[in-house]
Homo-oligomer: A and B are copies of this chain.
């Protein structure tokens, strides 16, 4: 997976293994083997390659998931049994009452460990979430994503979803909820 990303970016930039080797100080033999997924590079090597390609290391690691990711069952149970509804979560409604059911905007603050669980909204409802401070984990269905300050995510929320602050500092997010009342939008 890492190899595919490296090769894709290298080919896109139109540079050879030799050039990338010079720019990254990684031998072209190693680059060849990494791209062919024959070896298991160290983080230091991937760092060098990322610098040589002038991309962020996450660009190279994206999609590089471990084959089998299993949910830790004990932890999952812990989370589901917590009854922290609006406990440690402060919701600040920005949008006026006239917009309820249309387009709603909030500032939401999470204390350490706080979580906000939402049941499925009406069909085609979308949420737009921007992290203003700290970090949160957003889980919608089976998908789960960790986000930091400055990160943005949008997702359909016609399934149950949760937002939780796993860090050791308060987290603040900006949330926009749009209720797509049978609009013909994409």
Q: A residues touching B (Cβ–Cβ < 8 Å)? A: 2, 12, 23, 40-44, 46-48, 51, 54-59, 61-62, 64-76, 78, 92, 94-96, 98-99, 102-103, 105, 107, 128, 130, 132, 140, 143, 145-156, 166, 168, 174, 176, 178, 181, 183, 185-186
Contact pick for A43, options B42, B75, B96, B154, CB 8 Å:
B42
A62 to B67, alpha carbons, bound, how many Å? 15
Contact A150 B61 (CB under 8 A): no
Task: Give how many copies assemble into the complex.
Answer: 2
Residues of B within 8 A of A74 (CB): 156
Contact pick for A73, options B46, B65, B154, B176, CB 8 Å:
B154
Contact B107 A153 (CB under 8 A): no
Residues of B within 8 A of A103 (CB): 128, 176, 178
A8 to B74, alpha carbons, bound, how many Å? 22
Residues of B within 8 A of A67 (CB): 148-152
A166 to B140, alpha carbons, bound, how many Å? 41
A173 to B9, alpha carbons, bound, how many Å? 22
Contact A94 B143 (CB under 8 A): no
CB distance from A167 to the nearest CB of B (A): 9
Contact A105 B176 (CB under 8 A): yes
Contact A130 B155 (CB under 8 A): no
A4 to B103, alpha carbons, bound, how many Å? 34
Contact A64 B51 (CB under 8 A): no
- Among all A-B residue pairs, the 3 with the closest Cβ atoms: A67-B150, A94-B152, A56-B146
Q: Can you pick out 19 interface pairs between chain A and chain B where the beta carbons lie within 8 Å of each other? A: A40-B43, A40-B44, A43-B64, A51-B69, A54-B72, A56-B65, A57-B61, A67-B148, A67-B150, A68-B151, A69-B151, A69-B153, A70-B147, A71-B152, A72-B153, A76-B145, A95-B154, A128-B176, A181-B185
